[in-house]
Chains A and B, each alone.
Chain A
């Protein structure tokens, strides 16, 4: 597992108050019961952790459909981190 994946899982696990080990890359966000305020707080935590800007407007984006699984979130964060470096 990459460092990014490990950090993303830690942030999601903290939000859901569960053990990191119980969150799998293949878990669907919807099944994790992530609500709208959870999503906004999770995005804040990811932006702070990786010093990235995640374009997200609660009126037009739905993280539970755009990012189906934990792996989707990890991929998006990895891309933004790579963009920042280049």
Chain B
């Protein structure tokens, strides 16, 4: 039987609407800063009905890449590589042999290179050009961010993309966690990336009729829906003994992963599916419900998600539910789809490490359907031993991670 290893986090990286580093991201989360603003990234912002998103602002690829490399990288892969470099630098790992071939690269992305997609379709359908750029296909493919991180960072072990819409990154991190835990690899660079604020994609979300016209207010009364976000977050995972042997700083421990499928509605959230994923993530970690102090909720700010997630939290945590600190960082960074779970896991690991819960901003007051403690509007000091991060996707695919403070 395979030896089960403890899996620790030794590196974090983030490119977000609140800054292009993990430090700027985390400081702004704690300060309750909104990363939302006017949509500027599409070729026809004025034509869109939706005016607001959480864009990664002032991101200059030339600060990070040579011009030759930029021509191979869609915006989504640029985010992924920059975040991966930061996480690896923090870990202090050097990926020479044999570690390079023993390191996995598992990345979540919901929709891949949307900027490349949109630009190409615009050329052929609108401008009636007969040619698109030569690297259109390898830039837009959904595995491009995983491939680019592997190439840029010299990671030669198992590498692939995981796609489950809004749960992609959480599924990716969970699979990487299982691979390190089971000894299939000695290290993993994992997380998620998304750059979906394009004309066609925003139009698609408009048609769903679930977007807020201004502010994302998860769990609040008078919430009006979600706001799209973008960015990337990356996490370096390795076995505890390896991290200790090389004297690495240990940022936290991943202890459990749970998954489920609703097998019900295409878009409507399902309390049972959510609850089963949370219960599986607790059981996988040998945690009881009342061991958890903090939940980073999926909390999209839609009427349906927040109501259903609250009911699922009641089902899983029972009388402990009102004692949980629950927050949705989507109130500050929007919903970055396939990157969301990674951005939220970084926030969860840092919350556990520092004993500070980031708030749910934009909160106007209680909705009778959402009757728990959502840490409204300002951060809170709280000693956290164990925390949970939730991701629930369209298509009914649910993924939940549990994290422990390392001591």
Contact = CB atoms under 8 A, between A and B. Distances in A.
Contacts of B208: 40, 58
A57 interface: yes
Given A40-B208, A43-B209, A44-B207, A58 B302 contact: yes
Interface string B292-305: 00000000011110
B224 interface: yes
Nearest to B306: A59
Nearest to A60: B224
B266 A58 contact: no
Residue among B207, B209, B225 with the most chain A CB within 10 A? B209
Given A40-B209, A44-B207, A59 B225 contact: yes
Interface string B221-261: 00111000000000000000000000000000000000000
Contacts, number: 39
Contact of A59 (B207, B224, B265, B266): B224
Q: Which applies to chain A's interface (DSSP): helix, strand, loop or mixed?
A: loop
B69 interface: no
A37 interface: yes
Nearest to A37: B267
A86 B231 CA distance: 44
Contacts of A59: 210, 212, 223-225, 301-304
A49 to B, nearest CB: 15
Interface in B199-230: 207-213, 223-225
Interface string A37-75: 100100110000000010011111000000000000000
Nearest to B209: A58
A56 B49 CA distance: 12
A59 B265 CA distance: 17
A36 interface: yes
Residue among A43, A53, A60 with the most chain B CB within 10 A? A60
B268 interface: yes
A58 B208 CA distance: 8
Interface residues of B, number: 19
A7 to B, nearest CB: 20
Interface string B280-319: 0000000000000000000001111000000000000000
A60 B212 CA distance: 10
B207 A57 contact: no
Contacts of B302: 58-59
A37 B266 contact: yes
Residue among A37, A43, A59, A60 with the most chain B CB within 10 A? A59
A53 B48 CA distance: 13
Contacts of B225: 57-59
Nearest to B305: A59
Contact of A56 (B209, B212, B267, B268): B209
Contacts of B210: 57-59
Nearest to B211: A57
Contacts of B49: 53
B184 to A, nearest CB: 40
Contacts of A57: 209-213, 224-225
Interface of B: 49, 207-213, 223-225, 265-268, 301-304
Given A40-B208, A43-B209, A57-B212, 10 more contacts: A36-B304, A37-B265, A37-B267, A40-B207, A58-B210, A58-B302, A58-B304, A59-B212, A59-B224, A59-B225
6 contacts: A36-B268, A37-B267, A56-B209, A58-B209, A58-B304, A59-B224
